Chain A
Amino acid sequence: MNDRSLRGRVAVAGIGETAYYRHSQAPEPEFVMCLKAILAACADAEIDPHDIDGFASFSEDRNDPMALAAALGIHELRFSNMQWGGGGGGVAGALANAAAAIVAGLADCVVVHRALAQGQFGRFGQGPRIAGVPREFALSLPYGQMSPAQFFAPMVMRFMHEHGIGQEALRAIAMASYHHAQANPRAVMYGKPLTEEKYDASRWIAEPFHLFDCCMENDGAAAIILVSAERARDLAQTPAFVLGAAMGSSHRAPSSPAASFAIPDLATSQFKPVAKRLYAMAGIGAQDIDVVQCYENFTGGVLMSLVEHGFFKPEEAAEFLTLENLVAPTGKLPLNTSGGNLAECYMHGLGLQIEAVRQIRGQSTSQVQGANVALAVGGPMSPPVSTIVYGSEAAL
């Protein structure tokens, strides 16, 4: 095995979540939810929380490692890490960073965490309420171009235009998430099914995105504990091994979405080079993947991510993206089997990572029978993007 690889050397030992709430509905402070998710992950792994020695997060998570380390009274902090970038682009990157730290001997038991209480700290989907804006913000915000849906819509519009893809492709992605949420009592949209008619009749947010093409905004917290593969085999849960991970962006993609109109390759999820590196490390291809969790900031991002991860060609999108193909357990490519960001919870994609682990363990509420390889893609169009693939013991 190449020494410079994560393949098979680190595994998820524990997963934890709080209840998921509609945005601004959290009954307790964000920091408290973060602690509870971490404790839940420790309980799941049967690890003493004092033995955590590293923290990794993304998207400028407000719960800083020193505060968590002090509150939990861990013996010694050995690793703390923040993946750059906004939104959920960095979710798999945080897991990759944690895994790399374990492989390199910097730490032994690293928790990846994300917590959101929007009532306490403010909403994502609202434009900034300030009088004047500098730099690249001055080139976008005065034109009413100021929210994630608005920034990403032209990327998807261009992609659909270039490849003749219709609205039905986006609708199928939304339908798959809602379908799976109906089996998942944790899902915020549990008991609230979506029909094609309801999708078609829903209001536009920013074309080509209808309401149901857009992620929810939620409150809650999630955590994942990584340890070495050897240690994971001795712990309580079936290990989900990291087979590979990759992060990055295309040529000259700016960090600021307000400048995203200038990306030389506009119509991309940003995964073209990143997915190649993922598969090279994992030693697999798209054909080896049993189930996919793919971050839906917007359904159009999922469309481009799936293409750029090699599941189908853009011209095949209409044929491939049908509800029948995307549902567990019978579909050709079961997608977002917890309900994802659209219908389970928008925890910046950490919930999707947890769902990938559940599939490897055989614990999903929409289980794919015998799933050995699960792909979990971080937020598209939001560079640096990141992606990771987990496998069972049989996949090693």
Chain B
Amino acid sequence: MSTYILGSETPESGGNDIGGAGSASYYLPDGLPTPIADPAALYGPYWEGTRQEKLLIQRNPATGSYQWPPQWIAHDDHSFDLEWVEVSRKGIIYSWTRVWHPVHPALTEAGPYIVVIVEIPQTGGVRMLGNLLGDPMQKVEIGAEVEAVFEHHETAQPPFTLVQWRTTGPVEQRPDR
């Protein structure tokens, strides 16, 4: 394992072996590292929200500023009293890559696949990461509108839900372009 990716602190090993059933509906095959809501105080609300098809992120109630990924402390006024709020499931593609070279055994036959970084409007620039559903060879446009799709991994132990993204219509039909 590369310490460059994971840092010196070794993650706790998860018990999240995913069952094979239903895997045909997942964007990427089974066998990739699965999410652990750890530390629970910091990541629990987000992962619980995805189970209910909600996007929850942190906000500082005193200043109204959003932040993501979650932090113990508010970036702006250094308060430790952050709240969790639901935000729009619609976003804008901020950047992307199409991955061709597999770096994990589960991905050997999976490529290419698309990773998008999505900005959530009205959050002061909060961004999230996921896969862009659909044709892996589709033309990806920075600025295109996308919406969250909740990919439920019900047979995993424990079950979890990944937030994926799909474009909300043909790019050329959008009035702002």
Contacts and interface: CB of A to CB of B under 8 A. Distances in A.
Contacts of B33: 127-128, 130-133, 137-138, 141-142, 146
A252 B47 CA distance: 24
B34 A133 contact: yes
B154 interface: no
Nearest to A251: B75
Interface string A201-214: 00111111000000
Q: Which of B32, B128, B131 has the most CB of A within 10 A?
A: B32
Interface stretch (A17-25, A254-262, A357-365): A254-262
A149 interface: yes
Interface residues of A, number: 57
A50 B7 CA distance: 34
Contacts of B97: 150, 153-154, 157, 206-208
A134 B125 contact: no
Nearest to A348: B4
Interface string B87-112: 00000001111111101110100101
Interface stretch (A118-126, A281-289, A332-340): A118-126
B117 A204 contact: no
A144 B125 contact: no
A207 B112 CA distance: 10
A329 to B, nearest CB: 35
Nearest to A141: B33
Given A154-B96, A261-B127, 20 more contacts: A128-B2, A131-B15, A132-B13, A132-B16, A132-B34, A133-B36, A135-B43, A137-B6, A138-B33, A138-B35, A143-B131, A150-B115, A203-B100, A204-B100, A204-B112, A206-B100, A257-B5, A261-B129, A262-B127, A266-B95
9 contacts: A60-B3, A60-B8, A86-B4, A125-B103, A132-B33, A137-B33, A144-B99, A154-B97, A256-B7
B55 interface: no
A86 B126 CA distance: 25
Given A128-B33, A266-B117, A206 B99 contact: yes
| 8 shortest interchain CB distances as A-B pairs | A132-B14, A138-B35, A153-B97, A134-B38, A127-B104, A154-B95, A86-B4, A158-B95
Interface in A125-173: 125-150, 153-155, 157-158, 161
B103 A132 contact: no
Interface of A: 59-60, 86-87, 122-150, 153-155, 157-158, 161, 203-208, 252, 254-259, 261-262, 264, 266-267
Nearest to B117: A261
A143 B115 contact: yes
Q: Which of A126, A131, A257 has the most CB of B within 10 A?
A: A131
A190 to B, nearest CB: 25
A204 to B, nearest CB: 4
Nearest to A207: B98
A117 to B, nearest CB: 14
B85 interface: no
A315 to B, nearest CB: 18
A161 B95 contact: yes
B4 A206 contact: no
A82 to B, nearest CB: 11
A267 B110 CA distance: 28
Nearest to B12: A134
Contacts of A60: 3, 8
B104 A135 contact: no
A115 B94 CA distance: 37
Contact of A142 (B34, B98, B110): B34
A24 to B, nearest CB: 14
A262 B126 CA distance: 7
Contacts of A129: 1, 104-105
Contacts of A128: 1-2, 5-6, 33
A388 B85 CA distance: 44
A131 B36 CA distance: 10
Interface in B22-55: 28, 32-39, 42-43, 47
Contacts of A254: 69
A348 to B, nearest CB: 10
Contacts of B32: 141-142, 144
Q: Which of B5, B12, B75 has the most CB of A within 10 A?
A: B5
A322 B11 CA distance: 44
A122 B1 CA distance: 7
Nearest to B47: A138
Contacts of A204: 98, 100-101, 112
B11 A154 contact: no
Contacts of B95: 154-155, 157-158, 161, 266-267
Q: Which of A127, A207, A254 has the most CB of B within 10 A?
A: A127
A203 B98 CA distance: 12
Interface string B135-170: 000000010000000000000000000100000000
Contact of A134 (B15, B43, B68, B117): B43
B1 A144 contact: no
Contacts of B2: 122-124, 126, 128
Contacts of A144: 28, 32, 99, 104, 107, 110, 113, 115, 131
